[in-house]
Structure 1
Amino acid sequence: MADVFGMALNDYQNGRYTEDIKTFSSLDEEDIIPVPYLFRTYDEMPKIEQKALQLASGKVLDIGAGAGSHALYLQNKGFDVTALDNSEGAIAVCKDRGVESTVKKAILDYSEEKFDTLLLLMNGIGLAGKLKNLSGFLHHLASLLLPNGQVLLDSSDIIYMFEQDDDGGYWIPDDGTYYGEVSFEMEYKGQKSNPFDWVYVDINTLQNACESNGFNCELVISGEHYDYLAKLTLKK
C-alpha cells in the first residue's frame, strides 16, 4: 500500500510541494488536505488543539503524530514526548524536524511504555475505524496510561452533513450503521491509498462508550463547527 500521506509530508519537508492530498469519502465528493496545514505552528492551530496542548502533562504519547507539529511544540516546552505514527514517511519527517523520540507503529500494536497523557488530535479517535471497535480501542488506551493519566482527544459530530427536514430532524440512512462511520481513500501525485475506515464520534456516544469502559469523559470545549475536545480519565 502506497504511503501517500508520508510521501506528501516528505515532499513538503524537502521543498517539493506542488499539490495537496486529495481525499475521497463515502459521505461526500472529493476534498483536499492542504499539506502546509500539517506543518502548522501553535499560533496557526485551532483553539481545540491549543487547549489540548495546554492541558498536556507529564510523559506524552502523540498518537497519529503526522508531521510532528504537536510533538515538536511540547518537546520545545520541555516535555518528554514520543511521536507515534504508522506512516514511515511521517516518522521520517518527524525525525527530520527534530522530534527526538519516535515510534513507527499502529497504536493498537503498541504496548511498550505507559504515559501520563495520550494525545489523539485531528480526530484521532477516528483510528478506531468503526463504532463497534470503540470499546476495544478505549481498553487499549487504558492499558497505556500511568496512574492518574489522561487521554485528550478531539472529534466532530458530523450530523451536519446530512439533510435536515422542516421540523429539525435529520435524514440519516437507516442501514444499521452509525452515521459517523466513513470510508476514506487518499490520493497524492497519482498514487492512491487503500480504503480505510474512520469514525467521527459525537460527544454523547463517546460519553456512553466511556461510561461502559471505565472512563470518565469530560467535554472540555466545543469548537466552531460541531467539533469538541474531550478529556478522558480512568474511574477510580
Structure 2
Amino acid sequence: MKDLFGKAILDYQTDNNPQNLVTETSISEEDEMSVAYLFRNYSQMPQIEQKALQLSKGKILDVGCGAGSHSLYLQEEDFDVTAIDISPNAVEACRLRGLKKTVNTDVMAFGDEKYDTILLLMNGTGICGRLSKIGIFLQKLKTLLNYGGQILLDSSDIIYMFDEDEIPSDTSYYGEVIFKITYKGESELPFDWLYIDYDTLKTASEANGLNCDRIMEGNHFDYLARLTIKE
C-alpha cells in the first residue's frame, strides 16, 4: 500500500500542499473528499459520532483513528485513550496533533492490553473487508475488552444504492465493496471495504457471544451500535 490516505492527512497537518482525495467504489463513481473534514472538532461531527464519544468510558481504544479527531477530543476530556491505525502517515499526524498514545498497527495484530471502550467510527466495520471475516474480527475485538466493556461502532445499510434487480445473489453480500483512492495523481491499490446493515451485524454479534444494541440511527441509512460480551 502507498498509504495515500495517510499521506493526505499528514500533508494537511504539515501544510504540505494538501489536496482533496478522490474516492471511487465498485458501486459508485468518483467523488472528491476534503481532507479538512477529517480534522473536524466535536461540534462539527455528525450526531452519531458525538453520541459515541458521549458514551465512551474508562480506558479507550480508537481503532482506525485516521487524523485522530475523536481521540483528541477524548484526551482533552481527560480520558486515557490509545489511537491506532494501519497508516504510518496518519499516526505521525496524530502525534503532531498532540495525541499522547498512538500505535501504528493493524488491530488484528494488536493485543497487549484490554479496554473499557473500543471505538470504530466512520464506518468502523469497513476495515473488516468482507462479511466472511466478521466472526474473526469480532472475536479479536472481544479479546481486547475488559469485563463490562463496550464496542461502539457505526456503519450503513447501503441497500438503498441498488435497484431490486441489481442486488447481488445469495453468494455475495451487497455491503461488500471495492474501494479505490487517488491522491495527487497517484492511485492506491484497490481494497475491500464492508458496509454492514444492523440486522446482519446483530446476527453476527450474537453468533460470536456478543450482545448488539442499536443506540441511534443517522440521517442517511447509518446507525450507531453498542456491542457487549454476553454474560
Q: Which amino acid in structure 1 is aligned with residue 179 of structure 2? A: F
How far apart are the structure 2 equivalents of 1:113 and 1:226?
Answer: 34
How far apart are the structure 1 equivalents of 2:108 and 2:119?
Answer: 14
Report the counterpart of residue 54 of structure 2 in structure 1.
54
1:147-173 deviations in Å (ceiling 9; x for gaps): 101000000000011025xxxxx6312
Report the counterpart of residue 133 of structure 1 in structure 2.
133
Report the counterpart of residue 66 of structure 1 in structure 2.
66
Q: Does 1:210 align with 2:209?
A: no
What is the TM-score when the length of structure 1 is the normalising length?
Answer: 0.95
Alpha-carbon distance change, 55 to 17 in structure 1, aligned in 2, over 3 angstroms: farther
8 Å CA contact retained: 2:8, 2:18: no
How far apart are the structure 2 equivalents of 1:113 and 1:18?
Answer: 35
For the residue of structure 2 that corresponds to 1:92, the secondary structure is: helix
Report the counterpart of residue 199 of structure 1 in structure 2.
194
Q: Does 1:87 align with 2:82?
A: no
Report the counterpart of residue 115 of structure 2 in structure 1.
115
Report the counterpart of residue 158 of structure 2 in structure 1.
158
Report the counterpart of residue 10 of structure 1 in structure 2.
10
Alpha-carbon distance change, 18 to 143 in structure 1, aligned in 2, over 3 angstroms: closer
Cα deviation for residue 217 of structure 1 reads 0.3
Alpha-carbon distance change, 94 to 125 in structure 1, aligned in 2, over 3 angstroms: same
Alpha-carbon distance change, 41 to 206 in structure 1, aligned in 2, over 3 angstroms: same
For the residue of structure 1 that corresponds to 2:126, the secondary structure is: helix
Q: Which amino acid in structure 1 is aligned with residue 220 of structure 2? A: H
Residue-pair matches, total = 231
How far apart are the structure 2 equivalents of 1:12 and 1:132?
Answer: 35
Report the counterpart of residue 171 of structure 1 in structure 2.
166
Structure 1, unaligned runs of 5 or more? 165-169
Report the more deviating stretch, 185-194 or 170-179: 170-179
What is the TM-score when the length of structure 2 is the normalising length?
Answer: 0.97
Cα deviation for residue 18 of structure 1 reads 4.3
Q: Which amino acid in structure 1 is aligned with residue 45 of structure 2? A: M
For the residue of structure 2 that corresponds to 1:177, the secondary structure is: coil
Report the counterpart of residue 234 of structure 1 in structure 2.
229
1:85-118 deviations in Å (ceiling 9; x for gaps): 0101100000000000000001111111110000
Q: Does 1:184 align with 2:183?
A: no
Report the more deviating stretch, 222-231 or 5-14: 5-14
How far apart are the structure 2 equivalents of 1:73 and 1:83?
Answer: 12
How far apart are the structure 2 equivalents of 1:99 and 1:215?
Answer: 31
Percentage of pairs with the same residue:
53
Report the more deviating stretch, 17-26 or 41-50: 17-26
For the residue of structure 2 that corresponds to 1:178, the secondary structure is: coil
Q: Which amino acid in structure 2 is aligned with residue 89 of structure 1? A: N
Q: Which amino acid in structure 1 is aligned with residue 197 of structure 2? A: D
